[in-house]
Each structure stands twice: as structure tokens, then as C-alpha cells.
Amino acid sequence: MAGNRTTKTAARSNIKKAQKVSASRRRSGKAPKQGKHPLSSHTEHEVSSSKFAFPRERKEPLTDARHVRNAIARFNQVKDVSKSERDAAWRRIKSAAKKYGIEISHKPKARSR
């Protein structure tokens, strides 16, 4: 029980610090800090389908360099898409990679099952 109180006390302290920093940023006219993940689920639903590698499934957003790298890494993990959809997605990924200055050495090989 004592460990739980310590954790709660630390959490409350961290929240108070964050609130003070946020208020200070607001008073000085600075923009609020963004979280580590710039594309929340709410924001993701506002993104146009054309900004996804797989627009019909709305999978693998291509909104920034980090998401493009992730789309490349996870390209073969997307299931239930046809070969033509996969080829179109790869073209979208290559285009986005070029836009964000990401080098692609090769298309990921299909996973064998």
C-alpha cells in the first residue's frame, strides 16, 4: 500500500508541474507542447484518405517523415489487400518518401507464410 501512495503522490506532483508549465507557456504566448505522437486517432480521422498508403483501409498514414518510415517498415504486415492495392500503396509510399527526403533502397519482399 505504501508504494501505491508514493506512486500516486509522484503522479500528482508531475501533473501539477505540467499544469504550471502549460500555464506559463500560455501566458507567454507560446504554442502548447505537442505529445510524442502527432497524429492522434481523432486527427487521423480528419486526414484525407489520399494521405494513407492504403486509403481504402486507412492504414499507414503518410503525413510526415516518421510515418513514411513506419509505412515502409510495416508495408508487408498489412493484410487483406490485393496485389494492385499493394502496388498502388508502394507508389504512394515512394512519392511521400521523395517528398520528405527519405531514401528507399528496395521494396520490402513479400512475407512467406
Model pTM?
0.60
Give the CA distances from residue 95 to residues 9, 22, 107, 110, in Å, rounded to whole numbers and listed in that order: 49, 38, 13, 20
Cα 21 to Cα 8: distance, rounded to the nearest angstrom:
20
Q: CA 24, 27, 31, 34 torsion: positive or negative?
A: positive
Question: Would you give per-residue pLDDT tens digits along the chain (113 residues)?
Answer: 555 667 778 778 878 888 888 888 788 887 766 665 556 666 667 788 889 999 998 899 999 999 999 999 999 899 999 999 999 999 999 999 999 999 998 777 766 55
Give the CA distances from residue 61 to residues 10, 19, 23, 72, in Å, rounded to whole numbers and listed in that order: 36, 31, 32, 11
